Amino acid sequence: MSDPIEYFEQLALSDSLLETLKQIGYEAPSPIQAATIPLLLQGHDVLGQAQTGTGKTAAFALPVLEQLDLAERRPQALVLTPTRELAIQVAEAFQGYARHLPGFHVLPIYGGQSMSIQLRHLKRGVHVVVGTPGRVMDHLRRETLSLAGLRTVVLDEADEMLRMGFIDDVDWILGQTPPERQIALFSATMPEPIRQVAHRHLRDPREVKIRASTATVETVRQRYCQVGPQHKLDALTRVLEVEDADAVLIFVRTKVAATELAERLEARGYPSAALHGDMTQVLREKTIEQLKNNTLDIVVATDVAARGLDVQRISHVINYDIPYDTEAYVHRIGRTARAGRAGDAILFVAPRELRMLRAIEKATRQPIERMQLPTQEAITGHRLAQFKQQVSEILNSQDLGFFQQLVAEIEREQEISPQDIAAAVTWLAQRDRPFQFEDDIPIEVEKSPLRPERELRPASRRERPPKDTGKYAADFDKVRYRLEVGHQHGATPQNIVGAIANEAGIESRYIGRIEIHEDYSTVDLPDGMPKDIFQHLKKVRVRQYPLNLSRLDGLEFGQQQPTPKRAASGRKTAKAEVDAPSTRKIRKRSP
């Protein structure tokens, strides 16, 4: 019997892929990855039964990448998915895993996308095609997609393709593939039509069956909060402020993230420690002992480092980074509600991660309730209540004779009322941790595409987009921006919309006309963009290339266009309100 696979290094993967996995933050293969990757690398066909969210994308993508001939610029792998969303997601996963494979190209193809764009990319040459059955059939019938060099075919979520009526299309596509190709079929269930397809096309397949754990603790209250990546730290601060927590275990994906987040929490006045695989056993044991004996309340950990962690006083588990698979989520929240106690699990979810949230709910068969982040007013109220409680406890437990005499002296010498003295002392007490809490995180992003505190202004009639601009019908002032990605970089309108919507939290309906040129693109975005979002978008990548966002009119960010002469006649021209850079300092919490 072979030894269990606990590390990616035990798999026959190249150093470049192992380095990528380390950078992404994968510490150990999930069950589906440990079972499937060796079989595919050995050339076997695989019939896998696994739920969404078990890590199966990496289970087939890594072996495919390992066996590619990058010098051969034609499709060597074909992945069929039931939906365009999944096709994009799988293609992005391939691109991420191949970051150290120079010259690698993957192309998602699906209905609703411009056929000319797909044809251009296929003509240039791609190594992996990820597509929906209907569009793949279109290309095969047009003879614009050649499968002559195909080595691997993956059917992802085959039961969904059956449910959506695609199974006959899949059967036809498989009939067009070379007889010597390898096939990996994944399905959450195995109804008879799926088994018939497997019987017709798979050669002596190895079966892999992974059951997602559903053993979530009933005494754990599960909640999620939708928050963009740039606001997660402020969101975490708010949660820590108001939750009635004893000890908190915060999960992140990587060792570096664990160290960085612990340091940033320390800087904000929350004593914290990291727990990850690079720590010595002595330091790990010291951290856990501090957590047990109440000298440390917050630990930031990776999945591997928290295995077997059993500390009864952990009242809250916070998933700062959403886990890669549902198994990891179940293990994480199992660190709270120990010994029959109640516990809380809070999950931070970015807009692009909602699919994984649904997968977790499906696998655990439990709904996760949405929570609103605490408002600034709620945090201020919570701090005031804490202070009042502390004052009450001191009055009931301490001998205050010396201090009462001191107050009397100040009152007599400076002719100040006791109430004014108490107010001054209160100000001193809260100086390092002000009662009036402030940060820059938007709470209700649904109100506006960019900021919560005001709606964007309607555009003037002459500025409104013409009717042929597609779905963009929102009536807002717009600014045209230049993006340093174009046809030569493989950029598509879908890539750009997805990047902006997911990273900046701007709904797609507020993203205007997009024009793709050879080496750059342009896009219309709502006026009044906050500076932090603008700076973040400059670093966002499409097809691994940074957008390097800039105004097309050449003005610096925040600079206004000259007021038109017609404004002198009494008609005012709307001016964009631009946030000044925040000067708020992070203050350290007083002991």
CATH number at residue 477: 3.30.70.330
- Regarding whether 384 and 309 lie in a shared domain, the answer is no
Q: Tell me, yes or no, whether 412 and 482 share the same domain.
A: no
pLDDT exceeds 50 at position 447: no
Asked which of 160, 179, 209 is the last residue of a domain, the reply is 209
The domain total for the chain is 4
Compute the distance between CA of residue 362 and CA of residue 163 in angstroms, rounded to an integer: 17
The pLDDT score that the predictor gives to residue 284 is 85
Q: Lowest mean pLDDT: which of 62-66, 171-175, 188-192?
A: 188-192
pLDDT in tens, 374-396: 887 878 887 788 788 888 889 99
What pLDDT, on the 0 to 100 scale, is given for residue 162?
A: 87
Q: Are residues 368 and 381 in the same domain?
A: no
In a domain, 583, yes or no: no
Q: What is the CATH number of the domain that holds 319?
A: 3.40.50.300
For the segment 497-510, the average pLDDT, to the nearest whole number, is 72
Do 352 and 467 belong to one domain?
A: no
| pLDDT higher than threshold 70 for residue 509 | no
Residue 272 has pLDDT above 50, yes or no: yes
Residue 155 and residue 17 share a domain: yes
pLDDT confidence of 225, banded at 50, 70, 90? Answer: very high
Domain end: 181, 209, 237, which one? Answer: 209
Average of per-residue pLDDT across 330-354: 86
Residues 82 and 121 in one domain: yes
Q: Is residue 590 part of a domain?
A: no
pLDDT of residue 214: 55
- Please indicate, yes or no, whether residues 52 and 199 belong to a single structural domain of this protein: yes
Q: Which of 158, 178, 209 is the last residue of a domain?
A: 209
> How high is the pLDDT of residue 217?
64
Question: Which pLDDT belongs to residue 527?
Answer: 75
> What's the rounded Cα separation, in Å, for the pair 79 and 194?
16
pLDDT tens by residue, 107-121 = 999 887 888 889 999
- Give the domain range for residue 467: 445-569
Tell me: pLDDT of 353 over 60.
yes
pLDDT at 479 over 50: yes
Residue with tokens 């896998």: 48
| pLDDT of 43 strictly over 70 | yes
Residue 455 has pLDDT above 80, yes or no: no
Q: State which amino acid sits at residue 218.
A: E
pLDDT at residue 581 above 50?
no
pLDDT score of 66 more than 90: yes
Distance CA 322, CA 355 (A): 11
What integer best gives the mean pLDDT of the chain? 81
Asked if residue 256 and residue 185 are part of one domain, the reply reads: no
pLDDT at 267 over 90: no
Averaged over 167-194, what is the pLDDT? Answer: 92
**Of 319, 237, 228, residue with least CA distance to 540:** 228
Whether residue 413 is contained in a domain is answered as yes
Distance CA 291, CA 276 (A): 15
Model-level pTM?
0.52
Measured distance CA(67)–CA(61) in Å, rounded:
10
What number is the average pLDDT over the span 455-462? 34
Higher pLDDT among residues 467 and 186, named by residue: 186
Together in a domain, 228 and 350 = yes
Max CA separation in the chain (angstroms): 100
Tell me whether residue 434 is in a domain.
no
- Which carries the bigger pLDDT value, residue 61 or residue 383? 61
Distances (CA, A) of 251 to 27, 302, 313, 573: 13, 6, 17, 49
In a domain, 385, yes or no: yes
Position 367 in a domain: yes
pLDDT at 563 over 70: no
Residue 551, CA distances (Å) to 8, 12, 509, 573 in order: 44, 47, 20, 19
Local confidence band at 439 (pLDDT 50, 70, 90 cut-offs): low
- Within-domain flag for 108: yes
pLDDT score, position 212: 57
Sheet containing strand 550-551, edge to edge, reads 514-516, 521-526, 478-483, 550-551
Same domain, 351 and 468: no
**C-alpha pair distances (Å), 75 with each of 86, 130, 139, 420:** 19, 10, 13, 78
pLDDT number for residue 232:
92
Domain membership of residue 326 (yes or no) is yes
Residue 175 and residue 301 in one domain: no
- Are 193 and 230 within one domain? no
Token pair of 538, please?
Answer: 């400059």
**163: alpha, beta or left, given left = phi > 0 and alpha = psi -120 to 50?**
alpha
Start-to-end CA distance of the chain, whole Å, equals: 56
318 confidence band (pLDDT: 50, 70, 90): very high
